[in-house]
Amino acid sequence: MVTIVIDGRKVKAKENSTILENTQELNIDIPTLCFHNDLSSFGACRLCMVEVNTNGKWQLATSCNTPVEDGMEIRTDSDRVQESRKLTAELLYYKYPTTEAVREVARKLGVQTPEEKGEGHDCILCGLCVRTCREIVGVSALTFQDRGRGRDIDEPKIEFDPNSCIGCGSCAYVCPTGYVQMESVGDKRIIWNKVFNMVACKVCGRFFAPEDQLKYISKETNVPFDKLTTCTNCR
Amino acid sequence: MDNVIFSSWNGKIVDNRKGKTSKAPKRADITLPKLPEEEKPLALMGWNGLVVMNPEADIVSLTLRYLKEIRKLSCGECSVCMIGIDRLLDIIGEMAKGEGSKADIAEMKAIIKQVCVNSKCGFGQSALFPVLDSIKFYKSDFLALIKGEKKLEDKDYSCTVTAPCMEACPARLDIPGYIELIKNNKFKESLDLIRENCILPGVVGRVCTHPCEDACVRKDIDEPVSIRLLKRAAADDDLQHGGSSLNGPQKEREERIAIIGAGPAGLAAAYNLRLMRYGVTIFESLPHVGGMAAVGIPEYRLPRDILNHEIDLIKRIGSELKVNTKVEKLSLKDLKKKGYNAVFVAVGAHIGTKIGAEGEDKGYEGFVDGVEFLRNLNLGEKVKPQKKVIVIGGGNTALDCARSCVRIGFNDVEIIYRRSRVEMPASDEEIEEAEKEGVKFNYLMTPVKILAKDGKVTGVECIKMKLGKPDESGRRRPVPIKGSEFTIDTDLIIPAIGQRSELPVIPDKEKIEITKWGTIKVDPITYMTDVEGVFAGGDCVTGPAIVIDALNTGNKVAKSIDCYLQGGSLARGITFEGVDLKKQMGRGFTVKAPAQGVGFLDVKERAGSFEEVEGGYISMEAMSEAQRCLRCYRVVVWEKAI
């Protein structure tokens, strides 16, 4: 355990825990768009900024991926922090004005936005789907498109590899803006424009999982495919 | 640079405009990137500031162009940088349409400041800084744009992109680029990008002394990004997936090129010349291809299957290879008669330098030069282990000899070096591993006499040294201490203090000019010798250097030969000599994260085996290490006089 100071309060913190983990425990509200408790931190949305005192100088730092150190001083609500979060929200809102998740966070941070619900479903490049696919599902079907030197891409996006995707739908579940859409009709599921065959439960006959996903689970766990064709309700 | 009208480079303001008083001299005493003079540059905008050389320069239009160029590099992975640039571009666009107002200038400033402190990577933190200078010091031009008194014009611009690591790399690999591809799980694309400038990625990923890592901005924060291991990861991943092949040419040209020496320089030239559809024949005097990479580097550092695989790919795109073929018998005229339109001499430096000790020329048994020792070992000669060996020298060749002796089974392996550990040119990793393996280091002594009995080495007489004043190399010069001579008994002595080339290469009436240092003299830009059509490069021109240096020469020589045969001139671009590329005006908070480590072969298993010592990254480890890259791309855009 280490001791840190958050907004003047001395608190004990687990070694190598992040600032955000500790502020969450203290119920301090810090806005985020790209953070998820079950995934590695990414530091992409820049909304979770706090101020950290390093060598006597207060510096802005992303709380989601900055680990605490013994004696670390943190300010979560200073004018500079608020101003920084608001400016970031303004930029996000400028780029994705119709996307509700962005509007909501911008509104919360004092940006003037229309009251009604946004109808847009933009990809805000938060990377939640990429990390979920890689870290939770373990197949890496989603990656950031590379935008390095000489590659001149106008709008970066998430690339989909149909050969790796197992159709599990985790990306659609985790997507905060509704950009990743999944459609299930009868024995078919469509996600990222790829059509998957669904397997019907041996007991109740409900189409409950894509065939590719069950095959993948079978391969990873060595449980025969037949044993997996009963849905969770009937097991 | 002459005639600087305004400069904010490095945060130092020089303002010689009419009506401005500046204490700074007319000639700016700052080191700027050197622009190609024939382009008559008017002004430049780069990550470190704005520099105006000519009053005709259009700063607003230059700013717009600079923003467009940096927009291409902004990755979009964090929300402030790319969107911030988009907003700035839109604001300037609105100004030009007459829809702007004074308040826009304040908004631009706020956005720039926000992006600089808030961006995730080094690029976002630094790229917008000069824009702040242009709206601050050329505000009237922006106000003129708002009022409609000025128009945005697309002038003639050039743009270059570099990074501290890229400038440090002899072959200027796009390091942030290939690291980003690895980060995004695109190992194949990463390898393709590496191969554009480095055709032996698995080799360089293992043996490079990685000057890039010394230049890494992260070195000043925690540890440099393990750039070399990431390159290796791209190559290893490819091999694990069956190994990709290289794309060869479809059609052939008539011209043929003879390359003398199948080392890294010769191979790189052959590969690039094949891409340009030339016929290529490589003559190699040794039975193996690879030059020093094959006969100079021991297998525990560079497994032969890695090297051979990469050579094989170059062979398969149609390079003809003739091993065991010494070109001595052929004169230059013969080569031209045989239909070769150009010759590239890349024979390397395979002869050891004399140590200046009495008796070294006597041909004693048990006295073997370092490069010869390694060559024989790599060509399969069995070396009988004896009790003790003394290796003389402090460079990587000396370390290679000593560590090879440990593996052969010598009981006692000692290195003697005339300076101290600090001055040792061998890389730290090599020294540390050698120490773990039990190699004993003796500093501040030098051999004066080889002792022998019945023609066989029995020992070496040494003298102790002390360090004097620094010499041309900047290292303190070793000075002998009079009367401090002493003797060390030994069975084998391996001097390894330097290498030179076996010259002249081609006995011909038109002799190729040799410098006083025993290297081939070439034009520094074209690599042509004083004999027309004959080019030279690699160790035989520079003296012993690293693999990536040789690859770079090979790449450049290929381009130069193409220019020579097709008529054309090599473009001279911007150079950054003396410019501190690490420096950036803005620097946000960077979360500390130590480098991902790799496994090493257990020390106990190293004696008696030439198995590879250093392990590589698995793909997940490589992707996680790649996350550490701060992506310090530096962009420079300059306006040229039309």
Q: How confident is the model at residue B513 (pLDDT cuts 50, 70, 90)?
A: confident
For B6-162, CATH number out of 3.30.70.141, 1.20.1440.230, 3.40.50.10490, 1.10.490.10 equals: 1.20.1440.230
**What tokens appear for A194 in the block?**
């790829």
Residue corresponding to tokens 């290929």: B558
Q: Is B434 exposed, middle or buried (0-12, 13-18, 19+ CB in 10 A)?
A: buried
Specify the pLDDT at position B20.
62
A126 Rama class: left (phi>0) / alpha (psi -120 to 50) / beta = alpha
Task: Taking residues B195-205, report their average pLDDT.
Answer: 97
Please count the other Cβ atoms lying within 10 Å of the Cβ belonging to residue B450. Answer: 23
Specify the pLDDT at position B38.
84
Decide if pLDDT at B19 tops 80.
Answer: no
Last residue of a domain, one of A61, A79, A108: A108
Decide if pLDDT at B2 tops 90.
Answer: no
CA A31, A37, A43, A44 torsion-angle sign: negative
Specify the pLDDT at position B262.
96
Residue A166 touches partner B, C-beta closer than 8 Å:
no
Do B184 and A144 count as a contact with CB atoms less than 8 A apart?
Answer: yes
Decide if pLDDT at B143 tops 70.
Answer: yes
Of residues B50, B33, B54, B27, the one with CA closest to residue B42: B54
Per CB-CB distance under 8 Å, the chain B contacts of A54 are 589
The rounded distance, in Å, linking the Cα atoms of B195 and A222 is 39
Residue A47 lies in a domain: yes
For residues B373 and B349, the answer to whether their CB atoms sit within 8 Å is no
Mode of pairing for the β-strands spanning A73-75 and A2-6 = parallel
Q: How far is B44 from chain A (nearest CA, A)?
A: 20
Task: List for chain B the helix, strand, coil content (%; round to 5).
Answer: 35, 20, 45
Residue A119 lies in a domain: no
Per CB-CB distance under 8 Å, the chain B contacts of A58 are none
Question: For the ranges A103-107, A212-216, B26-30, B405-409, which has the lowest average pLDDT?
Answer: B26-30
**CA B280 to centroid of chain Cα atoms:** 25
The rounded distance, in Å, linking the Cα atoms of A2 and A17 is 10
For residues B220 and B173, the answer to whether their CB atoms sit within 8 Å is no
Residue A234 lies in a domain: no
Q: How far is B635 from chain A (nearest CA, A)?
A: 10
Of residues B503, B564, B507, the one with CA closest to residue B535: B564
Write the pLDDT tens digit of every residue in B60-103. Answer: 999 999 999 999 999 888 889 999 999 999 999 999 999 999 99
Decide if pLDDT at B27 tops 60.
Answer: no
Task: Taking residues B545-568, report their average pLDDT.
Answer: 95
**What tokens appear for B504 in the block?**
């002249």
CB within 8 Å of B377: residues ≥ 6 apart: B298, B383, B404, B408
The rounded distance, in Å, linking the Cα atoms of A94 and B433 is 55
Task: List for chain A the helix, strand, coil content (%; round to 5).
Answer: 25, 25, 50
B6-162 and B352-497: identical CATH topology: no
Per CB-CB distance under 8 Å, the chain A contacts of B189 are 146
- Whole-number percent of chain A with pLDDT over 90: 83
Higher pLDDT, B250 or B315: B315
Decide if pLDDT at B405 tops 70.
Answer: yes
Decide if pLDDT at B510 tops 80.
Answer: no
Q: How far is A209 from chain B (nearest CA, A)?
A: 27
Residues of chain B contacting A, Cβ within 8 Å = 72-80, 82-84, 86-87, 110-111, 114, 117-120, 161, 174, 176-177, 180-181, 184-186, 189, 193, 588-589, 591-592, 633
Do B78 and A46 count as a contact with CB atoms less than 8 A apart?
Answer: yes
Q: How far is A113 from chain B (nearest CA, A)?
A: 17
Decide if pLDDT at B496 tops 70.
Answer: yes
Distances (CA, A) of B239 to B309, B613, B614: 9, 19, 17
Residue A16 touches partner B, C-beta closer than 8 Å:
no
Write the pLDDT tens digit of every residue in B93-130. Answer: 999 999 999 999 999 999 999 999 899 888 999 999 99
Q: Which of B177, B184, B589 sits opposite A61 (nearest CB)?
A: B589
What angle do the packed helices B547-566 and B264-275 form, to 10 degrees? Answer: 40
> Best mutation site among A69, A126, A144 for testing chain B: the one with the most B CBs within 10 Å?
A144
Residue A147 touches partner B, C-beta closer than 8 Å:
yes
Which residue type does B204 have?
Answer: V
For residues B180 and B193, the answer to whether their CB atoms sit within 8 Å is no
Give residue A148's domain range: 128-228
Interface of A with B in 73-112 (CB under 8 A): 84, 87-88, 91-92, 94-95
Decide if pLDDT at B516 tops 70.
Answer: yes
Q: Give chain A's residues under pLDDT 70.
A: 147-152
Specify the pLDDT at position B555.
97
Do A148 and B114 count as a contact with CB atoms less than 8 A apart?
Answer: no
**DSSP label of A187:** T
Decide if pLDDT at B3 tops 80.
Answer: no
Residue A66 lies in a domain: yes
Interface of A with B in 193-232 (CB under 8 A): none
Task: Taking residues B31-57, report their average pLDDT.
Answer: 91
In this structure, are A76 and A162 located in the same domain?
no
Specify the pLDDT at position B23.
54
Task: Taking residues B301-307, report their average pLDDT.
Answer: 96
In this structure, are A14 and A45 located in the same domain?
yes
Do A61 and B75 count as a contact with CB atoms less than 8 A apart?
Answer: no
Write the pLDDT tens digit of every residue in B328-380. Answer: 766 777 888 888 999 999 999 999 999 999 999 999 999 999 999 999 999 99
CATH number, domain of A74, equals 3.10.20.740
Specify the pLDDT at position B403.
97
Specify the pLDDT at position B354.
92
Question: For the ranges A27-41, B198-212, B572-586, which has the lowest average pLDDT?
Answer: B572-586
Average pLDDT of every residue of chain B: 92
The rounded distance, in Å, linking the Cα atoms of B24 and B13 is 8
Residue A17 lies in a domain: yes
Q: Which of A59, A146, A151 sits opposite B589 (nearest CB)?
A: A59
For residues A137 and A168, the answer to whether their CB atoms sit within 8 Å is yes
Per CB-CB distance under 8 Å, the chain A contacts of B79 are 33, 44-47, 88, 91-92, 95, 124-125
For B256-347+501-566, CATH number out of 3.40.50.300, 3.40.50.720, 3.30.930.10, 3.50.50.60 equals: 3.50.50.60
CB within 8 Å of B532: residues ≥ 6 apart: none
Domain B352-497 class in CATH: alpha beta
CA A132, A135, A138, A142 torsion-angle sign: positive
Domain ranges of chain B: 6-162, 168-244+597-642, 256-347+501-566, 352-497
A7 Rama class: left (phi>0) / alpha (psi -120 to 50) / beta = left
Closest chain A residue by Cα to residue B176: A148
Decide if pLDDT at B18 tops 80.
Answer: no
Residue A113 lies in a domain: no
Do B110 and A87 count as a contact with CB atoms less than 8 A apart?
Answer: yes
**What tokens appear for B380 in the block?**
């399969």
Task: Taking residues B545-550, report their average pLDDT.
Answer: 96
The rounded distance, in Å, linking the Cα atoms of B431 and B424 is 9
Residue A148 touches partner B, C-beta closer than 8 Å:
yes
Interface of A with B in 19-38 (CB under 8 A): 33
Residue A211 lies in a domain: yes
Number of structural domains in chain A: 2
Q: How far is A205 from chain B (nearest CA, A)?
A: 38
Specify the pLDDT at position A144.
87
Closest chain B residue by Cα to residue A154: B72
Question: For the ranges B43-47, B417-421, B529-533, which has the lowest average pLDDT?
Answer: B529-533
Of residues B484, B499, B467, the one with CA closest to residue B371: B499
Q: Which of B111, B177, B185 sits opposite A140 (nearest CB)?
A: B185
Last residue of a domain, one of A108, A139, A156: A108
Q: How confident is the model at residue B216 (pLDDT cuts 50, 70, 90)?
A: very high
Decide if pLDDT at B290 tops 90.
Answer: yes
Task: Taking residues B408-434, report their average pLDDT.
Answer: 94
Per CB-CB distance under 8 Å, the chain B contacts of A47 are 79
Per CB-CB distance under 8 Å, the chain B contacts of A145 are 184
**DSSP label of B594:** P
Residue A5 touches partner B, C-beta closer than 8 Å:
no
Decide if pLDDT at B24 tops 70.
Answer: no
Give the helix ranges, DSSP H, for B138-174: 139-147, 164-168
Burial profile B400-420: b = 16 or more Cβ within 10 angstroms, e = fewer: bbbbbbbbbebebbbbbbbbb
Specify the pLDDT at position B89.
96
DSSP string, B232-268: HHHHHHHHHTT-------SS--S-EEEEE--SHHHHH
Of residues B241, B161, B230, B239, the one with CA closest to residue B190: B230
